[in-house]
Amino acid sequence: MLAYHYSRGDNLEKAYQYLKLSGDKATRNYASFEAINFYQGAIDLLKRGPDTDENRRKGIDIRLLMSTR
């Protein structure tokens, strides 16, 4: 819920953090489908932001997390 509000308020960094945390929590609870959805949302937010090295690294990290689910 917090990620949604931050993304609507154009605070993409906070929205990304909360989506990643939600994906991590879903993974710990063995909810792989939900984790993938949260991680995909984080990737979508990164695409909305500037194309920086940091955002590319975050995208790679999220994709690696998704590949192990």
Q: What is the DSSP string of the chain?
A: -HHHHHHHTT-HHHHHHHHHHHHHHHHHTT-HHHHHHHHHHHHHHHHHS---HHHHHHHHHHHHHHHT-
Distance between CA 28 and CA 67 in Å, rounded? 15
Q: What is the dihedral of CA 28, 30, 63, 42, to 10 degrees?
A: -70
In this prediction, residue 16 carries a pLDDT of 93
Residues spanned by the domain of 42: 2-67
Q: Work out the mean pLDDT of the chain and round it to a whole number.
A: 91
**pLDDT tens readout for residues 11-23:** 888 999 999 999 9
Write the CATH number for 17: 1.20.58
pTM for the full predicted model: 0.87
Q: Which residue has the tokens 């999220």?
A: 62
Instruction: Count the domains in the chain.
Output: 1
